[in-house]
Amino acid sequence: MKVAVQKEAFDVGFEIRSISQDKSIGAVASFVGQVRDVAMTLEHYPGMTEKALTAIVEEAKSRWNVIDCTVIHRYGELQPTDPIVLVVVASAHRGDAFAACEFLMDYLKTRAPFWKKEQTAAGERWVEAKSSDDRAAERWKS
């Protein structure tokens, strides 16, 4: 399991190849989130961020067959098309890998302490939390 919060870009291929070579792994699902349209600065809460991401990974492991998992989230200044977040989940079968990957993204969007500030033509503005993200996280409660 790997959880990292960093300024630097990540190498998706390297991270997928670095997933455990456990012979019980039959599926590796990954998701990359990237910056759309405008440059932004991502602020986070050092210490709590790592703690929150680790707790979300533990929750995913308790719900699905997760043999290995990597979560990397960047902070600092990012440009359009820059990757922001990477989630890789390795499971025995694809159902668990896809579900755990989507769950990790939905939960980190509502529970990990990151804040985006966009640099628009009209000036800087803090991105507001979306209720659609809350609903996406809520559906895993049932």
- What's the closest the beta carbon of residue 95 comes to other proteins, in angstroms? 23
Q: Which two tokens stand for residue 84?
A: 């922001």
Measured from the CB atom, the residue of 47 and 95 that comes closer to other proteins is 47
Measured from the CB atom, the residue of 35 and 67 that comes closer to other proteins is 35
Residues 98 and 89: their CA atoms lie apart, in Å, by 8
Measured from the CB atom, the residue of 71 and 99 that comes closer to other proteins is 71
Measured from the CB atom, the residue of 8 and 23 that comes closer to other proteins is 8
- What's the closest the beta carbon of residue 23 comes to other proteins, in angstroms? 32
Q: Which two tokens stand for residue 64?
A: 């699905």
CB distance 79 to 120 below 8 Å: no
Residue 2: its H or E element: strand 2-6
User: Cα-flanking dihedrals φ and ψ of residue 43, to 5°?
Assistant: -105, 150
- Give the footprint of other proteins on this chain (CB under 8 A): 33, 42-45, 47-48, 51-52, 73, 84-85, 105, 108-117, 126-129, 133
CB distance 115 to 126 below 8 Å: yes
- What's the closest the beta carbon of residue 142 comes to other proteins, in angstroms? 21
- What's the closest the beta carbon of residue 25 comes to other proteins, in angstroms? 25
